[in-house]
Amino acid sequence: EQNRINIAIDGPAGAGKSTVARMVASRLQYIYVDTGAMYRAVTWYMQSHGISAENEQKVLQTVQNMVIELKPHESGQMVLLNGEDVTPFIRSQKVNSEVSRYAQIEDLRHHLVHLQRMMALSKGVVMDGRDIGTTVLPAAEVKIFMTASVKERALRRFKELDKAEGITLEQLETDIARRDRLDEEREVSPLRRAEDAVFLDTTDMNIDEVVEYITSFCRTRMDGEKEQ
Ligand code: CDP
Ligand code: CDP
């Protein structure tokens, strides 16, 4: 029986974090936690209720009165707000365009970080986001900072898209670069590689190669933990 550890995966949009984190979790029989889905669900809710990101007090008050749950699901993970499944709404262009604005609100971040830490208390968690290795789980036994060129990341996202959305590859690249910049330049827990994170450029790696690399790295760490 190997000791359970926590695994933090951070990086910019389209790097492959959620795909890989979910597969690593499944291989290790760990729980996958998608923190981006929490920021997205909150953004969708605020937009639906006409609460703008400038109205920080109202955002905080609203989120404090909300029950946010993540539930494992065959195709990844479900987000429930006050018991209602909002997963189908959180990946829209409208949410994409504003999520990084809401994610700059310091008090909102504190609230979500607290929830995320609670989810990782019993270990055996693979968590992905932007600030997991630096802020949410600074003591995680494994930290990966995953990236890829912005061209490759835009192309990956483009392939996922429904043609009906009518968005071009160039537009996607601009959107992603803009979101990267907002995430990297914000004052509270910006997107940054933790000093002790493994840097992984996946531009020329396929999904299986990345999953294999991270899983074997984790297994080595678990063995190390056991011997201590
Ligand atoms: O899947 P994708 O990489 O496009 O984004 P995501 O992981 O779903 O995160 C959406 C947005 O939420 C990011 O662009 C960040 O602005 C914010 N986020 C964050 O600030 N901190 C996290 N731990 C996770 C997401
Ligand atoms: O979570 P994040 O935004 O970092 O990326 P993702 O949503 O997991 O991955 C974006 C897309 O890239 C997905 O369609 C993956 O299947 C694809 N991908 C890939 O083609 N090669 C990789 N090495 C990783 C992901």
Whether the CB of 87 sits within 6 Å of ligand 1: no
Closest CA to 26 of 94, 75, 92, 63: 75
Residue ranges of the binding site: 11-19
Q: For a substitution probing ligand 2, which of 96, 100, 145, 156 has the most ligand atoms within 8 Å of its CB? A: 156
Q: Facing residues of 33 across strands? A: 127
How high does pLDDT run on average in the chain? 94
Ligand with an atom nearest the CA of residue 160: 2
> What are the strands of the beta sheet with 142-147, ordered from one edge?
31-34, 125-129, 6-10, 142-147, 198-201
173 Cβ below 6 A of ligand 1: no
> What secondary structure letter does DSSP report for 188?
S
Annotated binding site for ATP: 11-19
Supply the pLDDT for residue 225: 77
ipTM (interface predicted TM): 0.98
Q: Is the beta carbon of 36 within 6 A of some atom in ligand 1? A: yes
pLDDT at 1 > cutoff 60: no
Query: How do residues 67-95 score in pLDDT, each as one tens digit?
Result: 999 998 887 789 999 999 999 999 998 99
CB contact at 8 A, 3 and 222 = yes
Q: Residue 161, Cβ neighbours under 10 Å: how many?
A: 14
Residue 147 has φ and ψ, to the nearest 5°, of: -145, 180
The owner of tokens 């984190």 is 21
Nearest-atom number in ligand 1 for the CA of 128 is 23
